[in-house]
Amino acid sequence: IHPKITNEAAARLVDSYVQLRNMGGNRKVISATPRQLESLIRLSEAHARMRFSELVEEADVSEAERLMRDSIQTAAMDPNTGQIDMEIITTGRSASSRHVAQEYAAELRERLRHRSGETVLIHELSRELEEVRQAEVGISEMRDALAILERDGLLRIVRNVVTVV
């Protein structure tokens, strides 16, 4: 069985995709990509096949939309913001986590600017940053911040030791 998509189902697919795109709000976060549209189509067709139907109808699209929304909320929910962020699926990191790492990198850049040649343990830098921020510093964001600074040529990291260049 190779169900054909009715005009009504096609319009519903477009509406569903637009709604998924809008889940990210007005932030610069992608909540749905063309890949999700393709998935909606395949799920709709599969649902029609389960009904042994030659046509994909709006009810099939509704079920595909429900499945897609549930899976996106499960897999792409940013625990820091409660928002959908597809970058979690594609990169393994949320936009908010990346933003925090960039803030850490900026603060570390300022603190390490005059410490050329110095070596320091990562956990000591974390403690310094926690004192400045007066908040706990996440280790993954800290490592991301240090990776940014290493790419910029400001420091080198060997194991847990940072050498300021």
Q: Say how far apart CA 89 and CA 36 lie, in whole Å.
A: 12
Q: How confident is the model at residue 29, as a pLDDT?
A: 61
Query: Please, are residues 32 and 17 in contact by the beta-carbon 8 Å criterion?
Result: yes
Q: Say how far apart CA 11 and CA 76 lie, in whole Å.
A: 26
Q: How confident is the model at residue 26, as a pLDDT?
A: 58
In the block, residue with structure tokens 């990210």: 24
Write down how long the chain is: 165
Rg (CA), the chain: 23
Q: How confident is the model at residue 43, as a pLDDT?
A: 97
**Measured at the alpha carbon of residue 44, what is the angle toward residues 50 and 53, in degrees to the nearest 5?**
40
| Global pTM value | 0.61
Query: Please, are residues 60 and 51 in contact by the beta-carbon 8 Å criterion?
Result: yes
Q: How confident is the model at residue 152, as a pLDDT?
A: 94
Residue by residue, DSSP assigns 88-150 as HHHHSS-HHHHHHHHHHHHHHHHHHTT-TT-EEEHHHHHHHHHHHHTS---HHHHHHHHHHHH
Query: Please, are residues 67 and 43 in contact by the beta-carbon 8 Å criterion?
Result: yes
Coil, strand or helix at 2: coil
Residues of the chain with pLDDT under 50: none
Coil, strand or helix at 22: helix
pLDDT digits (tens, 9 = 90+) for 45-70: 999 999 999 999 999 999 999 998 88
Q: How confident is the model at residue 25, as a pLDDT?
A: 62
Give Cβ neighbours of residue 151 (< 8 Å, ≥ 6 apart). Answer: none
